Amino acid sequence: MFGFLKGLGVTLSQLPRKKVTLQYPDVRPEWPERFRGVHRFIPELCIVCHQCARICPTSCISLSGTRDENRKMRIDTFDINFDICILCDLCTEVCPTEAILMSDTFELADYTRDSMYLDMHWLYENQLRYERAHPDRVTRPAGGEQAGEA
């Protein structure tokens, strides 16, 4: 009996407290700026140096590029296999131009593994979504000549 009353007391003491759980997915979490979610990518900043692919511990980045008329390397394809990406952040750490960055996107669950292969266009769309959601965090000017985090 004492144990029951003790347990009931603990339960009642929690009732007036502020709730820490969210009614996800109706209420979505606000992740901190350094949250390591699915990448975003800015194609015009990529110099095709392959550093991200080389450092990736799971070899889940594949990319290709060609030289343009000014002999600058331009990215043609950039794919990440999120089936095996461990969101370790190493690729964004080594990128010299901040072309690849982490975002707060975290929902990739699906019924097929094929949907885990995300290409340059999806990753750029994720960049645009991130810019819309967090204009205070992104200082990339219109036209995308340079990028930087606020």
Residues near 78 by Cβ (< 8 Å), separated by ≥ 6? 41, 43, 46, 61, 62, 63, 119, 120, 123
**Beta-bridge partners for 105:** 38
88 assigned binding-site residue: yes
60 assigned binding-site residue: no
Closest to ligand SF4 by CB, 21 or 70: 70
Phi/psi at 55 (5° precision): -85, -15
Question: C-beta of 24: minimal distance to ligand SF4 in Å?
Answer: 24
Closest to ligand SF4 by CB, 8 or 86: 86
Phi/psi at 63 (5° precision): -150, 160
Output the furthest CA–CA distance in the chain (Å, rounded): 84
Question: C-beta of 27: minimal distance to ligand SF4 in Å?
Answer: 28
Contact positions vs ligand SF4 (CB under 6 A) = 46-52, 55-58, 60-61, 63, 80, 85-91, 94-95, 97, 99-100
Question: C-beta of 7: minimal distance to ligand SF4 in Å?
Answer: 44
Q: Which H helix or E strand runs over 61? A: strand 61-67
Closest to ligand SF4 by CB, 43 or 129: 43
91 assigned binding-site residue: yes
Please tell me whether residue 26 adopts helix, strand or coil conformation: coil
Annotation: binding site for [4Fe-4S] cluster:
46, 49, 52, 56, 85, 88, 91, 95
